[in-house]
Amino acid sequence: MAPAYTTSELMVSRAAKELKDGDVVFVGIGVPSLAVNLAYRMHAPGLCMIYESGAVGCVPRRLPISIGDPCLVTGSLAVVPMLDVFNLYLQRGLIDVGFLGGAQVDRFGNINSTVIGDYHQPKVRLPGSGGACEIAALAKRVVITIANSRRTLPERVDFVTSPGYLRGGRERESLGLKGGPELVITDMGVYRFDPETREMVLASLHPGITIKTIKENIGWDVKVAQDLAETAPPGPEEIRIIREELDPQGIFLRSKAG
Amino acid sequence: MSKAMTMQEAIARFVRDGDLIVMEGFTHLIPFAAGHEIIRQRRKDLVLARLTPDLIYDQIIAAGCARKLIFSWAGNPGVGPLHAFRRAVEKGAPRPLEIEEYTHFGMVLRFMAGASNLPFLPTRNYPGTDLTKVNPAFKTIRSPYGDEELWCVPALNPDVTIVHAQRADAEGNTQVWGLYGVQKEAAFASRRVIVSVEEIVDSRVIRSDPNRTIIPGSIVSAVVHEPFGAHPSFVQGGYDRDNDFYVKWDAISREEAGLGKYLDEWVYGLPDRAAYARKMGPRRAELLADRQMCEPVNYGF
């Protein structure tokens, strides 16, 4: 029997569970936007969505296609200049959770969205930081979503666009940065960070995925948590909200079931 | 004094070869009409600065008008890469493009420093990122009030800043609602400012709602009446973002030839924005915004 949900829906649902009622969340497009809107409808009606475009307390009536979609403005609590978004909300310490993605994430949660290969002679030139570097540096918690493969999860990123725990241990703290990545959600499992070494540790496997599959699809000998769990699949109400209310046209979640 | 003129006049008078130009608007109010006129007038060796080059700079880069790009995120939002940008960086086509790279926060601070007549601004951002290793403009400073070390970015002072807005009076007092982006900071940082607007209104309209004015006429060089001037980006309360066009741009721009054909048909082949709007046909009406009026406020005393 075909599974009743897709991997993308599982990722959205897992990311939504990471959000608490009352959290102030810096939202990006795609899985993050869907996750935040799902949490808002399920268990976190007091959640405050902020987009880097300057819309604060958004209540989008349709799925925003870009982080500057006009539907983010209509009915929002405030619209502020980007200077205020970064100075007064982010640097001031008012953002609880930032969602980030990238082309590569490494063993210590550093994110690359700048180049593959050498910076000055890139094999692939990627879009760059946007607001990712400051979110990684200044949000209280960071949740990362990325595909699980040797290419996307190397031991060391080609370029640190957005700092995680750098080379592990206390390096991040020693540079004066608080927070840091809390969770990495992939299409195969969920990783947390060891409180001492700060390296990514496999915390849960999505249904049907084995440790062997994970080890074949990651760039280093990843450690597995003692209490390794299975990721809870999305319930019927979550699936209904995602399919009927959040992404009825399947713009972001067209991936095949399973 | 009225500063109203056509886009052709405004670009001819205020944008010169080799200028550092900024055409801002974060997703919202991107001044595409001005971008097309710059391409038509075949400006050369421009240094382009903008947080997100977006399609507007992808087109100017493809037309060979730019020698350098200062930016923080170069992609087609929600769609994929900017192909002309990538061709220029990876292959030097149609000409090599020097890049100077920041983050959104860094670009915003650069404009604010420039606008405030300061040499730089500090931030708690940037420990640990490799961006500071590849761009020597990032520097550190020790706080004179403690022992903290902070990263700084230098002021950015453009020769010309061009913005699009909902409305202005003929003197250039400019009002925006919806997403503000960094237009105000970029305009104040700039030596010359061109404003294009959906509507030129009597100064009484501006004075009836002064809180909405983000750019004062005193820093504006030219005001251009340019309805539909932001398409394919959007104007809050005017027209929606043409998301379909942003998706189509991926195919149009994937090869140099396809992009060249687009420029021939939609830029070089048209005299002005009015002709562009007519060529859009019925699509234009599909994008019109619905009405959602705000509650009036009392400015009396």
Condensed to tens digits (0 to 9), the pLDDT of residues A144-171 reads: 999 999 999 999 999 999 999 999 999 9
Considering its fold, how many domains does chain A have in total?
1
Question: How many independent structural domains does chain B possess?
Answer: 2
Q: Is a pLDDT exceeding 90 seen at residue A23?
A: yes
Residue A81, domain member (yes or no):
yes
Mean pLDDT over residues A22-32, rounded?
88
Q: Bridge-partner residues for B69, per DSSP?
A: B48, B99
CA distance B66 to B60: 7
CATH number where A33 lies: 3.40.1080.10
Contact call for residues A26 and A18 (beta carbons, < 8 A): no
Q: Quick check: B164 contacting A, CB < 8 Å?
A: no
The answer to whether residues B164 and B219 belong to one domain is yes
Q: Would you state the pLDDT for residue A258? A: 35
pLDDT beyond 70 at B212: yes
| pLDDT at A219 (0 to 100) | 98
In a domain, B272, yes or no: yes
Residues B196 and B224 in one domain: yes
Looking at the structure, do residues B167 and B274 belong to the same domain, yes or no?
A: yes
Q: Which of B26, B82, B90 sits opposite A122 (nearest CB)?
A: B90
Cβ <8 Å between A29 and B77: yes
CATH number at residue B272: 3.40.1080.10
What pLDDT digit, counting tens, does each position of A30-87 carry? 788 899 999 999 999 999 999 999 999 999 888 888 889 999 999 999 999 999 999 9
Domain co-membership, B275 together with B206: yes
Question: Percent of chain A scored above 90 by pLDDT?
Answer: 84
**Does some domain include residue A1?**
no
The confidence score (pLDDT) of residue A1 equals 44
Angle, CA of B226, A73 and A28, to the nearest 5° = 110
Asked whether residue B38 falls in the same domain as residue B52, the answer is yes
DSSP-H helix ranges across chain A: 7-17, 31-42, 82-84, 132-138, 171-174, 211-216, 236-240
Per-residue model confidence (pLDDT) at position A31: 84
Chain A residues with CB-CB distance to B185 below 8 A: 81, 83
Shared domain for B142 and B81, answered yes or no, is no
Q: What is the structure's pLDDT at B84? A: 97
Tell me if the bond preceding B119 is cis, omega within 30° of 0: no
Establish if A56 belongs to a structural domain.
yes
% of chain B beyond a pLDDT of 70: 100
Helix (H) or strand (E) holding B248: helix B243-253
Residues B203 and B144 in one domain: no
Exposed/middle/buried for B190, CB within 10 Å: 0-12, 13-18, 19+? buried
Q: Choose the closest CB to B104 out of A86, A122, A166.
A: A86
Asked if residue B247 and residue B143 are part of one domain, the reply reads no
Average pLDDT over residues B22-40: 98
pLDDT over 80 (residue A255): no
pLDDT recorded at residue A99: 93
- Average of pLDDT values for B235-262? 97
* Mean pLDDT, range A82-111, rounded to an integer: 96
Band (A134; pLDDT cuts 50, 70, 90): very high
**A151 in a structural domain:** yes
Predicted local distance difference test score (pLDDT) of residue A251:
76
Domain of B45 in residue numbering reads as: 7-102+160-286
Contact B147/A at CB under 8 A: no
pLDDT of res. A63 = 83
Note whether B88 and B212 are same-domain residues. Answer: yes
Asked if residue B204 is part of any domain, the answer here is: yes
From the list A29, A55, A175, which residue is nearest B179 (CB)?
Answer: A55
Omega of the bond leading into B53 within 30 degrees of 0 (cis): no
Asked if B241 reaches chain A (Cβ–Cβ under 8 Å), the answer is yes
Which residue among A68, A70, A163 places its CB closest to the CB of B129?
A: A163
Burial class of residue A118, CB neighbours in 10 A (0-12, 13-18, 19+)? exposed
Tokens (6 digits) for A163: 């700092």
pLDDT tier at A254 (50, 70, 90 boundaries)?
low
pLDDT band of residue B82 (cuts 50, 70, 90) is very high
Q: Which of A9, A18, A52, A238 is catalytic?
A: A52
Same domain (yes/no): B81, B220: yes
Same domain, residue pair B263 and B240: yes
Does the pLDDT of residue B25 top 90, yes or no?
A: yes
The model's pTM is 0.96
Tokens of A157: 């990123």
C-alpha–C-alpha distance, residues B40 and B19, integer Å: 16
Closest residue in A to B53 (Cα–Cα): A127
- Helix ranges, B18-121 (H): 32-40, 54-62, 83-91, 104-115
Helices (DSSP H) in A66-130: which residue ranges?
A: 82-84
Residue A196: active-site member? no
For residue A77, is it within any domain?
Answer: yes
Predicted-complex ipTM score: 0.95
**Closest approach of B12 to chain A, Cα-based (Å):** 30
Statement: residue A26 has pLDDT above 70 = yes
Query: What is the sign, positive or negative, of the torsion defined by CA atoms of B16, B2, B56, B73?
Result: positive
Average pLDDT over residues B121-133: 98
For the beta carbon of residue A87, count every other beta carbon within 10 angstroms. 18
Q: Under 8 Å CB-to-CB from B123, ≥6 apart: which residues?
A: A91, A134, B105, B106, B109, B150, B151, B152, B153
For residues A117 and A123, the answer to whether their CB atoms sit within 8 Å is yes
Pair (B82, B149) in one structural domain = no
Rounded to an integer, the average pLDDT of B209-226 is 98
Domain span at residue A189 reads 7-246
The candidate with the shortest Cα–Cα distance to A181, out of A109, A130, A97, is A109
**pLDDT tier at A3 (50, 70, 90 boundaries)?**
low
Contacts of B163 in chain A (CB under 8 A): none
Crossing angle of helices B83-91 and B256-263, in 10° steps, is 130
**Is a pLDDT exceeding 90 seen at residue A4?**
no
Size of interface A-B (CB pairs under 8 A): 167
Is residue B291, in this structure, part of any structural domain at all?
no
Alpha carbon distance A168, B226 (integer Å): 54
Average pLDDT of the residues of chain A: 93
